[in-house]
Amino acid sequence: MIDSDVGGYDNFKKAFAATTVSQFGSGWGWLVVDRGKLKVVKTGNAELPVTKGQKPLVTIDVREHAYYLDYQNRRADCVDTLIDTLLNWDFAAENLARG
């Protein structure tokens, strides 16, 4: 799915990082299923993809409290590190399998 819907893992990483980092202020970056296809989206504050009929698979919190102590104003560095080392693909696969 990641190959057909977002052009492969490398394209996913670029899109997920760019979308997540571009969230102005507090919010989230998400990998969701939207109408049967994978999609990268962002939401502000307490907005959730489920309110738009999208199914969340993984997310990254980009509220300042989530990264400031370790990364100060380097949000992009934090997001890159999270994507490269901490995304739980087993959890994402379980969420995807639940339909």
pLDDT digits (tens, 9 = 90+) for 24-67: 999 999 999 999 999 999 999 999 999 999 999 999 999 999 99
Domain assignment of residue 8, given as a range? 1-97
Q: The tokens of 69 are what?
A: 């102590």
Q: What is the predicted pLDDT for the residue at 99?
A: 73
CATH number of the domain that residue 60 is part of: 3.55.40.20
Three-state DSSP class for 23?
A: coil
Query: Looking at 1-99, which runs of residues are DSSP E strands?
Result: 27-34, 37-44, 55-61
Domain total of the chain: 1
Q: What is the predicted pLDDT for the residue at 21?
A: 97
Q: What is the mean pLDDT of the chain?
A: 96
